[in-house]
Amino acid sequence: MIQLEGISKNFGKQVVLNDINATFENGKTNLIIGQSGAGKTVLLKCIVGLLNPDKGKVLYDGRNILALNKKERLLLRREMGMLFQNAALFDSMSVFENVMFPLEMFSDMTYKEKEERALSCLERVNLLNARHKSPEELSGGMQKRAAIARAIALKPKYLFCDEPNSGLDPQTSLIIDELIHDITNELHITTIVNTHDMNSVMGIGDHIIFLSGGRLEWQGNKDNILDSDSKYLNDFLFSSDLLRKVKERESMKRTGVQ
Amino acid sequence: MNFIIKWIDTFGSYLMLMKRVIGRPECWKMFGRQFLRDIFQLGVNSIPIVLIISFFIGAVICIQMKLNIESPWMPKIVVGYATREIMLLEFSSSIMCLILAGKVGSNITSEIGTMRVTQQIDALEIMGVNSANFLILPKISALVTFIPILVIFSIISGIGGSYAICYATQIMTPEDLTCGLQYCFIPWYIGCSIIKAIFFAFIIASVASFFGYRVEGGSIEVGKASTNAVVSCSVLILFADIVLTQLLMQ
């Protein structure tokens, strides 16, 4: 479980995050949504420790990452997996070597065990046949799947995904979303996904927080997001034609029933 | 005033990065793999350009010496002597390292800079890897190991070039050249060249890595960082050359 307590971050005079409080539970796919510039990426960077917030605490099962010393922070990071927006695979290595990398760096397993683990991760994301290819030979969706395989190689407790669907077509996005959701349930890990993809919101949002102007405007889940009273959230959601039509149809149905 | 503050800030950042770089690798196996890759990519791949440039410069120095200082008052050994001293003391160590700062330095900066802008360095950090140590230490080790070898190749190739021009153009006899090359030879000068090369190798690898590591933005910033790295490496090599020459040759 990851808890955020009063996270605030300014860049100069610009307030980027303002007193964010939230809890992300194990076994759930937690989404951070919001418009571009709302502070999603900064919040994710504060959570994983790539940025230090000006105020507040980030608690990983009770351990405040900001209060840990360098060594403890490195050890905590080994419990994390992260999928970056552009996959961030190491381009000097093949797909298999990418997945082997965290195992070779930190695992005490024998080479055969590491190899088996890497192959099972690649099989899980359906990339076994592409294991000898280099990252630039893969499509965007395959790169994302390879990055997921690398992220789960060390069986992390926490998985972070920054815009996992950016640059992907809707079908491939769906595959990536399902993969993230299934892995979260299988490994019973805490997953935080930073997205503004509405299909992800409606498909895998077990817990959703909505940021607007650096503030936490709303939190809930995919089942109650369409019924929110928040003006900012509704403006954000119904800027999507698809959701606006769904909403209109639901309203018409309700009116018809009445 | 601003320039001085900026310079001090940059130097402080460089020292802080070096503090993260210098240390025991987290995984020796991965370090060894990176080290070998860098030896081949940065060192072995530079052998052809070092041999070619040194060969021609050796030949040209020989011609220039013959044409410009030939006089009945000058002994015949002067051409060989001057060619050897120039190659040994300055060209093969300092000038060759300036050339390598362009080739290898820009390669290092663009590689690390691209890793930065494509978030590969962030990915390493998230995994709990000390990215500075993992990426930069093998490059420093590889260059400090291999550039002295390139310097030896350069000396041999330069002297080979001067012999080749003697045979090809008959401007002087190879025997006179040999006499000059052997005249008053001080073996310590080879040691000086190698010591200088070790310092220059450290400057090239560490400064180029520093500029790559702190890139922010996109491809244009990577390009600018590469240019800045080459300029800074060149200036630092020239400055270090003065200091080292004064210390070693006194």
Q: Which residues of A fall within a CB distance of 8 Å from B125?
A: 50, 77
Does the pLDDT at position B33 exceed 60?
yes
- The CATH number of the domain where A255 resides is what? 3.40.50.300
Does the pLDDT at position A258 exceed 70?
no
Best of A105, A108, A155 to substitute, by most chain B Cβ atoms within 10 angstroms, is A105
Domain count, chain A: 1
* Contact between A84 and B125 using a beta-carbon 8 Å cutoff: no
Does the pLDDT at position A59 exceed 80?
yes
Nearest CA in chain A to B123: A88
Q: Is residue A27 part of a domain?
A: yes
Residue A75 distance to chain B (closest CA, Å): 7
Q: Is residue A44 part of a domain?
A: yes
Helix B28-38 vs helix B131-169: crossing angle, to nearest 10: 30
CA distance A61 to A184: 17
Structure tokens that stand for A163 in this block: 């815009």
Range of the domain at A212: 1-79+196-258
Q: Which residues of A fall within a CB distance of 8 Å from B133?
A: none
* Contact between A86 and B128 using a beta-carbon 8 Å cutoff: no
Which residues contact residue B73 at a Cβ distance below 8 angstroms, ignoring those fewer than 6 apart? none
More confident position, A24 or A226: A24
Q: Which residues pair with A60 in a beta bridge?
A: A2, A63
For chains A and B, what is the number of CB pairs under 8 angstroms? 53
Helix (H, G, I), strand (E, B) or coil at A17: strand
What is the mean pLDDT of the segment spanning A234-238? 81
* Contact between B128 and A74 using a beta-carbon 8 Å cutoff: yes
Q: How confident is the model at residue A204 (pLDDT cuts 50, 70, 90)?
A: confident
What is the mean pLDDT of the segment spanning B196-204? 96
What is the mean pLDDT of the segment spanning B131-143? 95
More confident position, B136 or A229: B136
A109–chain B Cβ distance below 8 A for any pair: no
What is the share, in percent, of chain A residues with pLDDT greater than 90? 41
Q: Are A184 and A29 in contact (CB under 8 A)?
A: yes
Does the pLDDT at position A12 exceed 90?
no
More confident position, A29 or A196: A29
Q: What is the pLDDT of residue A256?
A: 67
- pLDDT digit string, tens, across residues B232-243: 999 999 999 999
Whether the predicted interface score ipTM is above 0.90: no
Q: What is the pLDDT of residue B10?
A: 92
Q: What is the pLDDT of residue A4?
A: 92
Q: Is residue A202 part of a domain?
A: yes
Q: Are A231 and A28 in contact (CB under 8 A)?
A: no
What is the mean pLDDT of the segment spanning B2-6? 88
Does the pLDDT at position B202 exceed 60?
yes
Q: What is the pLDDT of residue A257?
A: 55
Does the pLDDT at position B21 exceed 80?
yes
Nearest CA in chain A to B28: A105
Q: How confident is the prediction for chain A on average, in pLDDT?
A: 88
Structure tokens that stand for B90 in this block: 């300055």
- pLDDT digit string, tens, across residues B152-193: 999 999 999 999 999 999 888 899 999 999 998 899 999 999
Q: Is residue A188 part of a domain?
A: no
Does the pLDDT at position A211 exceed 70?
yes
What is the share, in percent, of chain B residues with pLDDT greater than 70? 100
Q: What is the pLDDT of residue A136?
A: 92
Pairing of strands A80-83, A63-64: unpaired
Q: How confident is the model at residue A226 (pLDDT cuts 50, 70, 90)?
A: confident
Of B37, B120, B128, the CB nearest to A77: B128
Does the pLDDT at position A146 exceed 90?
yes
Best of A101, A107, A150 to substitute, by most chain B Cβ atoms within 10 angstroms, is A101
Q: Which residues of A fall within a CB distance of 8 Å from B122?
A: 50, 82, 84, 88
Best of B118, B121, B124, B130 to substitute, by most chain A Cβ atoms within 10 angstroms, is B118
* Contact between B119 and A84 using a beta-carbon 8 Å cutoff: yes
What is the share, in percent, of chain B residues with pLDDT greater than 90? 79
Residue B63 main-chain phi, psi, to 5 deg: -65, -45
* Contact between A104 and B30 using a beta-carbon 8 Å cutoff: yes
Q: Is residue A162 part of a domain?
A: no
Block residue for tokens 């310092």:
B199
B122–chain A Cβ distance below 8 A for any pair: yes
Q: How confident is the prediction for chain B on average, in pLDDT?
A: 93
Q: Are A35 and A212 in contact (CB under 8 A)?
A: yes
Task: Identify which of B100, B97, B93, B60 has the alpha carbon closest to the alpha carbon of residue B79.
Answer: B60
Structure tokens that stand for A249 in this block: 């149809």
Q: What is the CA radius of gyration of chain B?
A: 21
Q: Are A236 and A212 in contact (CB under 8 A)?
A: yes
Among residues 182-201 of chain B, which lie with CB inside 8 Å of chain A?
none
pTM reported for the whole predicted model: 0.86
Q: Are A112 and A170 in contact (CB under 8 A)?
A: no
Best of B120, B121, B133, B222 to substitute, by most chain A Cβ atoms within 10 angstroms, is B120
B219–chain A Cβ distance below 8 A for any pair: no
Residue A195 main-chain phi, psi, to 5 deg: -150, 160
Q: What is the pLDDT of residue B203?
A: 97
- pLDDT digit string, tens, across residues B49-103: 999 999 999 999 999 998 888 777 888 889 999 999 999 999 999 999 999 999 9
Q: Is residue A74 part of a domain?
A: yes
Q: How many CB atoms lie within 10 A of CB A116?
A: 12
What is the mean pLDDT of the segment spanning A101-124? 91
Q: How many CB atoms lie within 10 A of CB B23?
A: 11
Q: Is residue A201 part of a domain?
A: yes
Q: Is residue A159 part of a domain?
A: no
